[in-house]
Amino acid sequence: MDTPLSARVAGVYLGLDPHSPVTTRADEARVTWEGFAGDRHAGLTRPSDGRTPHYPRGTEIRNSRQVSIVSAEELAEIAAAMGLESILPEWLGANLLLTGVPRLTRLPAGVRLFFSGGAVLVSEGENLPCIAPGRVIHAHHPHIPGLAPLFVRAAWGRRGIVAWVEKPGLIRVGDDVRLLQPPGGEHDSWHPILRDST
């Protein structure tokens, strides 16, 4: 088994408004089997959508998208590609901002994230960019045309990942995170891929 990678929680966010994709900064999140307590994406199941075209839209399926995670390094790259000074994680509806994994979006599905507060999340893989966060970004920069579709292009391969809860616990800003590949994984070279920021 590979030596775990390490990261740090730089931000915790909750989706408190069920009608808004924007999340709100918090000091900590109570992690339950359903996700982050109080977050709009929490739940053991969710309705299928465009990401699951093999089901009729609205079919109740297991919720493997309980938590959205982004990296500070990739957000900086997205902002630079869009000609902006910065992009806030909450504009993307993120629940967690990590530092220390510049290529977080490349994290293979099945990798476990062990938080020092006891919670364990399992990566479901890349969170593909859509135009909704682009509209939020444009609302903060209304004088710049074309930001919404530009976000989709700039965020491709940098949008972060979604994850589900394997073990409840607590996640706080400043917590340490260990990223561990399960035994028998096929991604032997994942460490340099995830660390490479060039």
Confidence of residue 1 (pLDDT cuts 50, 70, 90): very low
pLDDT of residue 51: 84
- The average confidence (pLDDT) of the chain is 92
**Which of 88, 120, 86, 111 has its CA nearest to residue 161?**
111
Mean pLDDT of 63-67: 96
Within a 10 A sphere around the Cβ of 62, how many other Cβ atoms? 11
Look at residue 26 and tell me whether its pLDDT is greater than 60: yes
Beta bridge partner(s), residue 165: 121
pLDDT of residue 196: 59
Mean pLDDT of 15-19: 95
- Per residue in 108-127, pLDDT (tens digit) is 999 999 999 999 999 999 99
Q: Which CATH number fits domain 5-195: 3.40.50.300, 2.40.33.20, 1.10.287.70, 1.10.150.450?
A: 2.40.33.20
Look at residue 97 and tell me whether its pLDDT is greater than 50: yes
pTM of the full structure: 0.91
Structure tokens given for 56: 């009729």
The CA distance from 12 to 162, in Å, is: 14
Q: How far is CA 21 from CA 101, 129, 151, in A?
A: 24, 13, 15
- Domain regions of the chain by residue span: 5-195
Look at residue 185 and tell me whether its pLDDT is greater than 90: no
The CA distance from 51 to 61, in Å, is: 12
Structure tokens given for 190: 């994942």
